[in-house]
Amino acid sequence: MRNEQILLPMLGMMVLTAVVWFVLYARRLPAMRKAGKPAQAYTTPDKAAGYLPEEISYPSNNFKNLFELPVLFYALCLYLYVTATVESADVFAAWLFLLFRVIHSAIHCTVNIVMARFMAYSAAALALWFMLGRAIWRVFQAALI
């Protein structure tokens, strides 16, 4: 197992974040033009919600989500990489995290079916908690030796 393999799912999360950012603006800017309000009318998300259809805010809400649990994911992957403790189970879980975050984002940015989105979110979270639990377990094992 090469330690660097944990970095690829991290890069995938960065690409996902960039894709959602582009989707956000590709939808929001035309909707703002169509609404015909001056840019200053959109000073807060609440004000924007008053002028734009609800589905226009889905990518924006998802973009915010990509800076919640994924922040822990990035930190954990870097921790595993720096400490050279990456194992195949960690890499597998990291890929699962990315897969379910892609599914979550696809749902959130389009149809926004809450229970489907929640299931994808939960599966990603479980993969992340699995990775974190393994990392903590290894620290305790090392301390006992």
Ordered by where they begin, the domains of the chain are 3-144 (1.20.120.550)
Q: Which residue carries 């030796």 as its tokens?
A: 145
pLDDT, average across residues 76-90: 97
In tens, the pLDDT along 94-124 reads 999 999 999 999 999 999 999 999 999 999 9
pTM (2 decimals)? 0.94
Q: What tokens does 3 get? A: 């330690």
Apex CA 40: angle with CA 36 and CA 41, to 5°?
55
Q: How far is CA 65 from CA 20, 38, 41, 58, 87, in A?
A: 11, 27, 24, 11, 27
